[in-house]
Amino acid sequence: MYKHIKFFEELSITDVPSVGGKNASLGEMYRNLAPKGVHLPNGAATTSESYNYFLEQTGLRQKITDILEGLDVKDVDELRVRGAQIRKAIMKAELPQDFQEEIRRAYRELGEKCGNPNLVVAVRSSATAEDLPNASFAGQQDTYLNISGEENVLHATKQCIASLFNDRAIVYRDENKFDHMKVALSVGIQQMVAVRSESAGIMFTIDTESGFKNAVVITSIYGIGENIVQGRVSPDEFTVFKPTLAILKKKLGTKKEKMVPGPNSTTKNIRVTHADQDRYSITDDQVRTLAQWGLEIEKHYGKPMDIEWALDEDDGQLYIVQARPETVQSRSNRNVIEEYQLKETGKQITKGSSVGSKIGAGPASKIMNLKDIAKFKEGDVLVTTMTDPDWVPIMKRASAIVTDKGGRTCHAAIVSRELGIPCVVGTGDATEKIASKSRITVDCSPGDEGYVYDGQLAFDVNTTDIHDLKRPQTKIMMNIGSPDHAFHYSMIPNDGVGLAREEFIIDSHIKIHPLALLRFDEVKDRHVRAEIQDLTKGYDDKAEYFVDKLAEGVSIIGAAFYPNDVIIRFSDFKSNEYANLIGGTQFEPEENNPMIGWRGASRYYSEDYKEAFALECRAIKKVRDEMGITNIKAMVPFCRDLDEARKVLHIMEENGLKRGENGFEAYVMIEIPSNVILAEQFAELFDGFSIGSNDLTQLTLGVDRDNHTVSHVYNENNPAVLELIKHVVAIAHKTGTKIGLCGQAPSDYPAFARFLVETGIDSISLAPDTVVKTTMDLHDLEISLGRSQQ
């Protein structure tokens, strides 16, 4: 029997007051999730009672109280001195003999259970408050890795206890009004399964930037996982869709270093080879296994979780080594939508991974060492190599944070999220390019990438309260461009996506003309060839790069709005726009008026382009059939006549997209007068119509909408345009064909949106920033028209 020790199999989440949140959670999972196939290392924990016993037996309680008396935590120098005094006193004190003996005995017993008498362990801190059992002290105390031998375990145990009084922990308790002497510490002694870790990382069962709940985000590096939190290494990043475990997105990190065991229970960092840097640190199957375990853990706890994992080099097995509730996105107010938008432009200094979606600006304060943090002023932008928990006091005063190193799960990113501060991590060169005291703007609003601009630029913050938003019967859908914003926009009340343009994905994420990939050997320009080689690194078949990247973008949009309909429009670049893609000039004709030239359907069946269109079909098929995101529908743009429609549908079938198979539906754009005139015949070929009011206006009125000379004639509210819309809506109702409108007009003109409702149109697709206002407007209109409400 033990008085001071509890093994994981004895613990549950109800033991937080005795062993703290971290150790209670490890015991809870070991007891409940290991039987379900989740791999978890065994361990034992000292109790909070044994911590208090240690303080009482050694007289440390009074000594610590005296040292802390009158401390002003804002006095950084005084804080440093007093914290060091306490830690020194703890390390000098002897653990009571019975406490020591139980730690030794527990370590030996744990070695027997794990089949290794010289067991290597991680010694972890787990703090709790006597009168506040739910208090969280995550990240405040220290962890010691690669510890073996009874004496080393005893020493690391005392180091953990001493870390309860490191500077950051003292500040944290002071700011949160915790009595220092009512907080106790449990020490976890956990089998270190990844002594020579192949790779390790962090997993969140919620998207850390948007709060989107249907995603698992996994980061991974080589070696022991400590480098990922410290921000020393930019990790690989994977986003997994919960309903189907499809990997939506993969991002290769630099992973230049890895932490490995050193001599005498130490660790050290060594360089990673270029070959290993250029490959992912875990396989797709391992990503899916981790995601499945993340779902099991989330289900068990009933809330989004923040989980640490490791891949053991010896047995090749994945293990969960820690889990705690996610505390930022899961607690945010989903009834308020906040959008940041720059009002002016500036010179870009650097870029990296964005954390959050805010904008911050101020004087750059370049802090390269902890000893210089006293120089930091309220409202400065913190620019540094990387941060650790000792930097939190100045991070709280920053208007934004920029780091050279780190990924979205490093310390700087985690703290920035908690504080609601915009942060750009992993720039690689911020401390080199940003001058101290210069005024800069940090913009995290564009999506995955965040940018740092020269100068303090003006920006707007738009806030919308969607609590109890009343919805009209008319479906309100969205027009979505970049997949980077899809998770964020999905939080706005909506009925799906009426138009997602492939052009945005091709232009921003693929960047290369599809024929330059399919016919790479024919590309003549050596600079273009070099650019394509660089972008398609890792792809022997360069066409697969196009399929994979397009499928990634489409799948993210589909997943964000799942299970609502998401209508993906096949590429509708004009020839001059295709020519602007890398390698495009060699494969594109010069047209005098590309707006009404070789675009849309006429490309797809052309002998000069149909092999490129086949790549688009393959990407859609991959998303629907392989990734299981079956709410995706495909839409054909600029289809001039019925013969074109049949040809395109035939090519789609040849490439695996057949109407009715696996629930697949094909839509057509109604944007040419011929589409309206022949609407009944088009309805026999397609499952749905989407009115493109921009082109329909252009071709009804005979106006080139790119020509400013006649722009005054262009008017979507023209009676002729409205008559065509009214007519095609009536035909759609007659034939039982779904019909919506995805042009710009209802976003710009409330009267146009009201006109559409009066026609009885099924859905209206809007720019995201107009969805809430139009939803309220149309709800009121439907009431005035006497329609019953949802």
Look up 742 and say whether it is catalytic: yes
Residue 520 CA, chain-centre distance (Å), reads 33
The DSSP H or E segment spanning 20 is helix 16-32
Exposed, middle or buried, 788 (CB in 10 Å: 0-12/13-18/19+)?
exposed
With beta carbons less than 8 A apart as the criterion, state whether 319 and 40 touch.
Answer: yes
> Tokens 């107010």 correspond to what residue?
333
What angle do the packed helices 771-784 and 750-759 form, to 10 degrees? 50
3-state class (DSSP) for residue 617: helix
User: What secondary structure letter does DSSP report for 350?
Assistant: E
Measured CA to CA, the distance from residue 475 to residue 495 in angstroms comes to 6
With beta carbons less than 8 A apart as the criterion, state whether 300 and 29 touch.
Answer: yes
Q: Which of 488, 639, 742, 779 is catalytic?
A: 742
What angle do the packed helices 97-113 and 150-162 form, to 10 degrees? 120
Side-by-side strand order, sheet with 143-148: 5-7, 43-46, 183-191, 120-129, 143-148
Least Cα distance to 339 among 210, 172, 440 occurs for 210
Structure tokens at 311: 């891949």
* Residues whose CB is less than 8 angstroms from the CB of residue 227 and which lie 6 or more positions away in sequence, other chains included: 221, 233, 257, 258, 259, 269
Measured CA to CA, the distance from residue 577 to residue 756 in angstroms comes to 31
With beta carbons less than 8 A apart as the criterion, state whether 51 and 161 touch.
Answer: yes
3-state class (DSSP) for residue 119: coil
> Tokens 């405040």 correspond to what residue?
140
Look up 160 and say whether it is catalytic: no
With beta carbons less than 8 A apart as the criterion, state whether 373 and 392 touch.
Answer: no
With beta carbons less than 8 A apart as the criterion, state whether 746 and 766 touch.
Answer: yes
> What count of residues does the chain have?
790
> Tokens 């743009």 correspond to what residue?
637
Q: Which of 39, 411, 488, 513 is catalytic?
A: 411
3-state class (DSSP) for residue 33: coil
> Tokens 């362990």 correspond to what residue?
121
Positions annotated as catalytic residues are 411, 742
